[in-house]
Structure 1
Amino acid sequence: MRTFLLTRIAAVALLIGGIHPAFAQVVPVPAPDTTRKYANPAGVSSPEKAQWYKSKLFRATVIPAALITYGAITAQGNAGINRQNREFVRKQFRPVNSMIDNTVIFLPYLELGAVALAGVESRDDRLNTLLIIAKGEAIMLASVYAVKFLSREIRPDGSNNQSFPSGHTAQAFLAASIVHTEFRDKSQWYGVGAYTIASSVAALRMINDKHWQSDVVAGAGFGILSAHLAYLSHRNRWGRKSIGRGIGLAPAYFGSGASGMTVTWRATR
């Protein structure tokens, strides 16, 4: 009996000795750090910051900024590349009626209205498109005429000192850029047609000896930039309502060299 008890006690001692090291190896878990528990309550990692060259602002301004910069650098009047291009144009072309310049600048808007009336759905409804046009026109006119006043560049024909940049070219490229933005998801050819018209305006201004090459290049930049800034700053959207789809616009000629735009509105439910 005594031997049996000693054997049992020895077995229990060995069992405890084998279990003890296992408990001794357990590492206590440290308490969680609560000092930053409110830094990110949702527990969602913050998105990586987009590269600056991928931002909408950079992509919208890089091309027009390059055009304006080139025009400003080469704006030397009767010197350098401006004189050479003027001599080349005068040898190749004869001046045409300047009234054509005043009419062709609105042809991209005519394309915009014609394509919309044909049933092609634009990016924005009629009302928002008109708001973007109005905003783009305001930006373009303010910037172009401010620079004209500050630069005081003499025109090639010497008529006045409002040469840089070309307002006609800026107007045409503003309209072309809006056409391209509104219909590029449907077909790129709408934009190609509008930019072809705008480029012809720039060529006509040089053929008629009203602008240097630097003027029309910078004018194109101001027009494109004005359209892009109008879209970037446009947040006043009400959706594609029928009232917006009932609005149309078209260029008009009022005689005596005066041209403009007409707006029509058709009430719909």
Structure 2
Amino acid sequence: MRSPLLSYLTAFFLLIGSIAPAYAQVPTAPAPTDTTKKYANPGGVSAAVKAPWYKSKLVKAVAIPAVMITYGAITAQGDAGINHRERTFVQKQFRPVNTTIDNTVIFLPYLELGAVALAGVQSRNDRINTLLIIAKGEAIMLASTFAVKYLAQETRPNGSDNLSFPSGHTAQAFLAASIVHTEFRDKSQWYGIGAYTIASSVAALRMINDKHWQSDVVAGAGFGILSAHLAYLSHRNRWGRKPIGRDVSLSPTYFGNGTPGMAITWRPTK
């Protein structure tokens, strides 16, 4: 005969077994959604990682010319130190030449720029924007170099005046060379190499003619390159949607009777 206690325990566990599944199927209420940042990033696009300051366009544009200008300023000691040694070496190796060459060669990079463009090589910018960049670069270069000249009051090697530092001729040549390099570097690096070779010859001529110290020409090159870089950084290509002037090219040719001439080609674009 079954014990009453055993009967009660059996009935209790059967009751628990029948109730437990019912409670297990009861759905739990979902956790409230956090809407505090609902509109922080609606597109779900991760934020762009900000590049460090030393990789910015301004730092890259200023770094090299700043080093050149700083070197020129540190070594600007007149007829002393490295200036004295370099002047002595140049005078032993070279004779002065006509200064008219200095005044002419400084614009040869611009002549290269125009000749390459007229030959049909597509530059980075159209004609009008390139001219605007040149005008802006010239303004920056002239203002900065002449301001420093009057502040520095450095005497020239030949003692003609106190406007030696920095070299304006060198700054002019390197400004033009930097613009040539920027406009055509995507086509060929040789355009820039040729322009910088011309600019370097200007710096050498200024020292050969005893017009400038080494510190002057190094700083002048820095001012020229810096002026070009600042002109590009501050320029907004307002006419860049349609090429202006790129459909016109000029090339040398010979006519039927052997007479040389120039041929103008117009290739209209849509």
Structures share fold, TM-score greater than 0.5 = yes
**Is the 1:64–1:222 contact (alpha carbons within 8 Å) kept by the matching residues of 2?**
yes
| Counterpart Cα distance in 2 of 1:181 and 1:205 | 25
The partner residue of 2:19 within 2, 10, 16 is 16
CA offsets per residue over residues 57-102 of structure 1, 9 Å max, x none? 1111100000000000110011111111000100010000000000
CA offsets per residue over residues 184-240 of structure 1, 9 Å max, x none? 000000000000000000000000000000000000000000000000000142126
- Matched with 2:253 is none
**Is the 2:122–2:246 contact (alpha carbons within 8 Å) kept by the matching residues of 1?**
no
**Is the 1:126–1:247 contact (alpha carbons within 8 Å) kept by the matching residues of 2?**
no
| Counterpart Cα distance in 2 of 1:120 and 1:64 | 28
| Counterpart Cα distance in 1 of 2:237 and 2:94 | 46
- Matched with 2:171 is 170
CA offsets per residue over residues 169-192 of structure 1, 9 Å max, x none? 000000000000000000000000
Percentage identity across paired residues of the two chains = 75
**Is the 2:90–2:208 contact (alpha carbons within 8 Å) kept by the matching residues of 1?**
yes
Note if 1:229 corresponds to 2:267: no
**Is the 2:118–2:248 contact (alpha carbons within 8 Å) kept by the matching residues of 1?**
no
| Counterpart Cα distance in 2 of 1:75 and 1:246 | 48
- Matched with 1:153 is 154
Aligned positions of 1:133-152 closer than 5 A: 133-152=134-153
**Tell me, what secondary structure is at the counterpart of 2:245?**
helix
| Counterpart Cα distance in 2 of 1:69 and 1:132 | 25
**Tell me, what secondary structure is at the counterpart of 1:165?**
coil
**Is the 1:127–1:247 contact (alpha carbons within 8 Å) kept by the matching residues of 2?**
no
**Is the 1:128–1:244 contact (alpha carbons within 8 Å) kept by the matching residues of 2?**
no
| Counterpart Cα distance in 2 of 1:108 and 1:116 | 12
Aligned positions of 1:201-220 closer than 5 A: 201-220=202-221
- Matched with 2:111 is 110
- Matched with 1:85 is 86
**Tell me, what secondary structure is at the counterpart of 2:210?**
coil
Aligned positions of 1:1-269 closer than 5 A: 14-21=17-24, 23=26, 28-239=29-240, 241=242, 243-245=244-246
Distance of aligned partners of 1:173 and 1:247 in 2 relative to their CA distance in 1, 3 Å threshold: farther
The one-letter code of the counterpart of 1:59 is K
| Counterpart Cα distance in 2 of 1:158 and 1:180 | 35
CA offsets per residue over residues 125-162 of structure 1, 9 Å max, x none? 00000000000000000000000010000000000000
The one-letter code of the counterpart of 2:240 is G
| Counterpart Cα distance in 1 of 2:220 and 2:129 | 25
Distance of aligned partners of 1:209 and 1:247 in 2 relative to their CA distance in 1, 3 Å threshold: farther
| Counterpart Cα distance in 2 of 1:11 and 1:154 | 112
- Matched with 1:251 is none
What is the TM-score of this pair, normalised by structure 2?
0.83
**Is the 1:126–1:246 contact (alpha carbons within 8 Å) kept by the matching residues of 2?**
no
**Tell me, what secondary structure is at the counterpart of 1:60?**
helix
Q: How far 1:46 sits from its partner (Å)?
A: 1.7
The one-letter code of the counterpart of 1:20 is Y
| Counterpart Cα distance in 2 of 1:162 and 1:182 | 32
| Counterpart Cα distance in 2 of 1:122 and 1:78 | 43
Which structure 1 segments of 5+ residues have no match? Answer: 1-6, 249-265
The one-letter code of the counterpart of 2:187 is K
How many residues are paired up?
244
Q: What's the RMSD between the two structures over aligned residues?
A: 2.6
Distance of aligned partners of 1:74 and 1:45 in 2 relative to their CA distance in 1, 3 Å threshold: same
Q: How far 1:11 sits from its partner (Å)?
A: 6.5
- Matched with 1:256 is none
Which structure 2 segments of 5+ residues have no match? Answer: 1-9, 250-265
